[in-house]
Chains A and B, each alone.
Chain A
Amino acid sequence: MLEISTILVAVMLCVALVLNLWRLIIGPHVVDRILALDTMYINSIALILLYGIFSKTPLYFEAALLIAMLGFVSSVAFGKYLLRGDIIE
């Protein structure tokens, strides 16, 4: 049962990633695109955790933590650049 539900949730996450990619392409403003990219980061963390459950190994948590940190830092850097015109003043 766990394998079936894991595959089902993986399909849901892939559909969510495709929807985010659609918003990333059509987004009318740059902030829309940054928001879509941030959501894609979070969904990919979920997908990596799900792969860790599927292959029965705890190896992938560090990768998920790294992706979470990089996603936050990159989103803040994009927003800071849009706000001030510069990242580190």
Chain B
Amino acid sequence: MTFMVELLISVLLLLGGIFVLVGSIGLLRLQDLYVRLHAPTKATTLGLGGILIGSMVYMYNTQGELSINELLITLFLVITAPVTAHILSKAAMHNRVKVMERTRNQHLIETARMQLPPKSEDEGSKGDIKP
């Protein structure tokens, strides 16, 4: 394995590790559940993508053939991470988790809880969200 390939794999792995660490710090430090949901579902998926690409390059260089397993893991994670985040945020709305005071459009939580489509409160401006 040449030096450049090793450097490429190391950079990819370090990038992935930094993203995973940032996602976990965000999970610990942010204030609200809905803000906290943002950190790991994006950053951790991106970090795992970096580690998977590094692993793919490494296995291609040692085994001589491209293995399909990393691609499967990447595809599966990219598909399932938004689904999990959506279901968790719906469960949080259903259970009336406390939100930050600065959160906009807090009346829409009740609408989502009743599982109705969102409607504007005055009929004159349809589609506008009241601030």
- A interface residues, Cβ below 8 angstroms from B: 1-2, 5-6, 8-9, 12-13, 15-17, 19-20, 22-23, 28-32, 34-36, 38-39, 42-43, 45-46, 49-50, 52-53, 56, 58, 61-62, 64-65, 68-69, 72, 75-76, 78-80, 82-83
Contact of A79 among B25, B73, B90 (CB under 8 A): B90
**Is B77 part of the contact surface with A, judged by Cβ < 8 Å?**
yes
Q: Return the 8 tightest CB-CB contacts between A and B, nearest first.
A: A61-B69, A9-B17, A16-B24, A79-B87, A5-B10, A12-B17, A82-B91, A39-B40
23 of the cross-chain contacts (CB-CB < 8 Å) are A1-B3, A1-B7, A2-B58, A12-B21, A13-B17, A15-B24, A16-B20, A20-B28, A29-B97, A34-B88, A35-B88, A42-B44, A42-B45, A53-B58, A58-B63, A65-B69, A65-B76, A68-B76, A72-B83, A75-B87, A76-B83, A78-B91, A79-B88
Q: A49-B51, A49-B55 are in contact. Are A6 and B84 (CB under 8 A)?
A: no
- B interface residues, Cβ below 8 angstroms from A: 3, 6-7, 9-10, 13-14, 16-18, 20-21, 23-25, 27-28, 33, 36-37, 40, 44-45, 47-48, 51-52, 54-55, 58-59, 62-63, 67, 69-70, 72-73, 76-77, 80-81, 83-84, 87-88, 90-92, 94-95, 97-98
